[in-house]
Structure 1
Amino acid sequence: MTWAKELEELRHREALAEQMGGEAKVARQHGRGKMDARARLAALVDEGSFREIGKIAGTASYDSNGNLTGVLPAPFLFGKALIEGRPVVATADDFTIRGGAADAGIKRKMVQAERMAHELKLPMIRMIDGTGGGGSVKTLEQIGATYIPAVPGWGDVVTNLDTVPVVALALGPTAGLGAARIVASHYSIMVRGLSQIFAAGPAVVDGLGENYKGSDDHQQAKEELGGSDIHTRNGVVDDEVASEAEAFARARHFLSFMPEHVGQLARRSHCTDPAGRREEALLSLVPREDKAVYSMRRCMNMVFDQGTVFEIGKNWGRTAITALARLDGWPVCVVASDPSYLGGSWDAKTSEKVERFVKLADQFRLPIVHLVDNPGFMIGREAEMAGTIRYGVQAMNAIYRATVPLASIVMRRAYGIAGSAMSNAERFQYRYCWPSGDWGSLPIAGGLEVAYKSELEAADDPAAELEAIKARLDKVTSPFRSAERFNVEDIIDPRDTRPLLCEFAQLAWRKLASER
């Protein structure tokens, strides 16, 4: 006597699950330019590594004799997989089954997936395509009552944010709980033209008087309400990509910098880029004209290991560049001023972005490198209306609270409170300054005519007197005067930046290893 009959039934049920929402609905999914959930899982993880959990769960139908006649699978798939040989929890919504709505699902599957991640200390990847919430209004009639909203297992979502790296990929229109699951992550991606995010979709918003429901082009309505042009520029989502394949590649790349969980150290990669490489172009990178701009991204590509700079949040908070990178194979988090946008002045969104990124670095124990050219917080009425100083101080507080090693390279300006947020001045200052350094409580040009008002009014030739004052102050503001008083630790040849930062990375990771 064997259990062959039962195994035959198991294989039959598995085959029904693999049909997802049925041939027609799967074809419709592909016709929209979208991969189906199973294809996404196969494309994201190492080949053949996905082991599904709860595959045959769903809503079954039986005939009068109790024989199985069909199964509607749950619209949520999850399991254990490998990415670059490292274990992860991989999940995917199945839009072919009631648009991924929870009224067709089994809540415990999603709860178990989230719980698996933090209890086994595995990175969590969510591929989200649908609402994932309470279903349609019509569902209420079927239930026979309404209910006070609650999200089963949300406590596990919160725990994961404190425990393991969480990556979320928006791969279709996502609303309600689906949108919340995207935002509750450490790194999030949208596919341009394919994914949209809303608290509620166009038809619901139309009830508030905004004309989306009546749009001739439903896709355009979704884009106008919650497309990537909106959410990758307001900071809801980190990055946009052109295709699902690119989204999978970026998710894998992000995880390559991360440890598998809080308490584990990230891994050093093999590096063939010499730590002692000195780039001649760095010597002339910063212009002598104080208002002239230059490319900070070009600097980063010269300083960090070649080909390792992985920028995050490029389209929002644009006066600061945030990126993951490597120095002699060691992973680091990079915060860098961008003088080509708003002169590098931190506005409210930039401050919010820096705060979030510094917290990520501290949580996952990645050293921070800060490339500084900061003329201060953005000023003016719009900046005041946006609450810039509050967000700026929160960014500064994050830097002061961070306990991972931090190195600053002051390339040019460091003014005011924003300039002082380059590092925690009450700790050892691992800091180098370029000869182009220019710093102070406020820019000289902004206060010179006010400070010397009486002298200028008394002068026979105010213009000549102003030039004479500027010439005197040019000598006083020399970075070498600051170095004389040890207000800056070292002024370096810009070409030595990479070797010195590689040395920092080695010492930083030595310290982090001692914490274990």
Structure 2
Amino acid sequence: MTWTPELEELAQRHAMAQQMGGADKVQRQHDAGRLTVRERIDRLADARSFHEVGALSGTGTYDDAGRLQQVMPANCVFGRARIDGRAVVLVGDDFTVRGGSADASIAAKPLMAEDMAATYRLPIVRIIEGSGGGGSVKTIETKGASNLPGGVDQTRGFQMMTANLGQVPVVGLGLGSVAGLGAARLASSHYSVMTRNSAMFVAGPPLVARLGQSLTKQELGGADVQARAGAIDHVVDTEEEAFDCVRRFLSYLPPSVYGVPPVLPSQDDPARADEALMRAVPRNRRQVYKMRPIIASVVDAGSFFEMGAGFGRSIITGLARIDGHPVLLLASDPYHYGGAWSADTCQKVVRFVDLAETFHLPVVYLMDCPGFMIGQEAERTATIRHGVRAMAAMNQTTMPWCTVIVRNAFGVAGAAHQPSGRLSLRYAWLSASWGSLPLEGGIEAAYRADIEAAEDPAAELGRIEARLNALRSPFRSAEKFWVEEIIDPRATRERLVDFVHLAEPLRTPGRSGAGMRP
């Protein structure tokens, strides 16, 4: 006697799982321009590396004799795989089965995926399309009772979703309609990507219409809307681009906080000096300039991976490599509020400084900040409260830190350019300028009596400006050792290469405090 009949049933059940919600539902997914969850896993993971867990789970139907007729698989697919050789956990919603709703899933599956990532210290990639919450409205009838959110057996999922942010890299991919708990899972990540034709919302258009707001999915929570709001990090046109983004993001990070980010061989000359940096900042202080070419000039060629570009736009954030060493990069963008910190900018700083602290990334800050945003909108958005939170995050970080003052450093936000109370490296370009307040606009107030008493007020204002401008030369500050080093801009890359090598032995594996929060 052999186990051939059981082996045949096992193969039959696996084949049913591969059919997902059925040929018609798969075709509908394709007609909408979207891949199925299994196609997504195949394209994201290295070839033949996906080891599925729980493929047989679902709802079976049987004849009167107890023989299997069909199994409708649970709409969560998960397992272990490799991405560019790195072991990861992949967990995805199957939209072909009840639109990714939780009433067609088995709650233990996504929870086990989170457990597996934490236990084996592996990054987790969530492929999200659906709601993934308490089910649909019809669930009340099928279950015979109304679900209590956060009830007796539900809270552990929320706990794991947050706990993993302090343990392993978490990536969220929004590849369709994402609502309710699905939206929470997407937002609760270190890096999130949506395709442009996707949408994310707490509740969809039918529910919002009851509030008197008639909106399409894109108007309510389209990818561009969510990127500007800071709910997601990146918008791409295709799913293949989203998969490429996942690969790049993971390449900068360790598998978990119990390792350090990998240092890769670099083909870029560590002493490379870009002549364009001498012309990068105009002498006219009112004239803006582009920061991203400066970033490209000082990091390893092609290594800058920007994140969160649509939100808090006066600060540029992302990952980069310098002589092969991964770093968290912050850089001011004078094209937005002159580089001043808005409430959104401050929130963005907190998030990315926490990312650096969680995964042991040295921080490089290319600074041009004239201070916090001022005016009525700044007060309405509590800029100062968000600002002191950003300062606290910087002061609490233990990561090696290097600041290059490219132009402005003024006011309280100007003081927030390096952690206080410990040594960090700081360099100033020839174009650097700093002070408690910018002279422009402040001279008239501080010297009003002298200006009004002068025979020629305009000439007197000009004489005062000339006198004070001479005093605010960065060389005057260097005489008093109020700034450590003023450098030729072309030497910036060489200084940063020196910094990452100094920082290398300070990168220590292990958990850092409470870890990152959503």
Band the TM-score falls in, shorter-chain normalisation = over 0.9
Within 2, Cα distance between the matches of 1:206 and 1:452?
58
- Of 174, 179, 185, 1:175 maps to 179
8 A contact 2:259–2:510 mirrored in 1? no
Q: Percent identity?
A: 50
| Structure 2 residue aligned with 1:154 | 158
Aligned length: 507
| Displacement of 1:513 | 4.9
Q: Which runs of 5 or more residues in structure 2 are unaligned? A: 512-518
| Structure 2 residue aligned with 1:201 | 204
Q: State the TM-score, normalized to the length of structure 1.
A: 0.97
| Displacement of 1:425 | 3.1
- Of 322, 330, 344, 1:327 maps to 322
SS in 2 for 1:444: coil
Within 2, Cα distance between the matches of 1:209 and 1:514?
52
| Displacement of 1:207 | 1.7
| Displacement of 1:514 | 8.9
8 A contact 2:258–2:510 mirrored in 1? no
Within 2, Cα distance between the matches of 1:296 and 1:223?
31
8 A contact 2:400–2:424 mirrored in 1? no
Between the two structures, name the one with larger relative contact order (CA 8 Å, sep ≥ 6). 2
| Structure 2 residue aligned with 1:485 | 480
Within 1, Cα distance between the matches of 2:158 and 2:360?
25
Is 1:289 the equivalent of 2:289?
Answer: no
Superposition map of 1:180-329 within 5 A: 180-193=184-197, 195-212=198-215, 221-329=216-324
SS in 2 for 1:464: helix
SS in 1 for 2:130: coil
Of residues 142-151 and 284-293 in structure 1, the stretch that sits farther from structure 2 once superposed is 142-151
Within 1, Cα distance between the matches of 2:435 and 2:291?
22
Change beyond 3 A, Cα 1:495–1:176: same
Is 1:500 the equivalent of 2:500?
Answer: no
| Displacement of 1:147 | 2.9
8 A contact 2:53–2:78 mirrored in 1? yes
| Structure 1 residue aligned with 2:346 | 351
SS in 2 for 1:445: coil
| Displacement of 1:125 | 0.3
| Displacement of 1:142 | 1.9
Q: State the TM-score, normalized to the length of structure 2.
A: 0.96
SS in 1 for 2:148: coil
8 A contact 2:167–2:257 mirrored in 1? yes
Within 1, Cα distance between the matches of 2:284 and 2:59?
70
Of residues 13-22 and 420-429 in structure 1, the stretch that sits farther from structure 2 once superposed is 420-429
Of residues 135-144 and 366-375 in structure 1, the stretch that sits farther from structure 2 once superposed is 135-144
SS in 2 for 1:258: coil
Within 2, Cα distance between the matches of 1:142 and 1:426?
60
Q: Which runs of 5 or more residues in structure 1 are unaligned? A: 213-220
Within 2, Cα distance between the matches of 1:237 and 1:369?
23
| Structure 1 residue aligned with 2:514 | none
SS in 1 for 2:389: helix
Superposition map of 1:445-456 within 5 A: 445-456=440-451
> 2:487 corresponds to which letter in structure 1?
I
> 1:22 corresponds to which letter in structure 2?
G
Within 2, Cα distance between the matches of 1:471 and 1:501?
34
SS in 1 for 2:485: coil
Within 1, Cα distance between the matches of 2:351 and 2:508?
24
Within 2, Cα distance between the matches of 1:487 and 1:331?
30
Within 2, Cα distance between the matches of 1:370 and 1:261?
25
Of residues 427-436 and 147-156 in structure 1, the stretch that sits farther from structure 2 once superposed is 147-156
| Displacement of 1:515 | 8.4
| Displacement of 1:501 | 0.1
SS in 2 for 1:129: strand
Note the alpha carbon deviations across 1:186-230, whole angstroms, 9 max, x for none: 11011001x111111111111222224xxxxxxxx1101110121
Task: List, as ranges, runs of 4+ consecutive aligned residues in structure 1 with deviation greater than 6 Å.
Answer: none
Note the alpha carbon deviations across 1:358-415, whole angstroms, 9 max, x for none: 0000110100000000000011111111111111111111100100000000011000
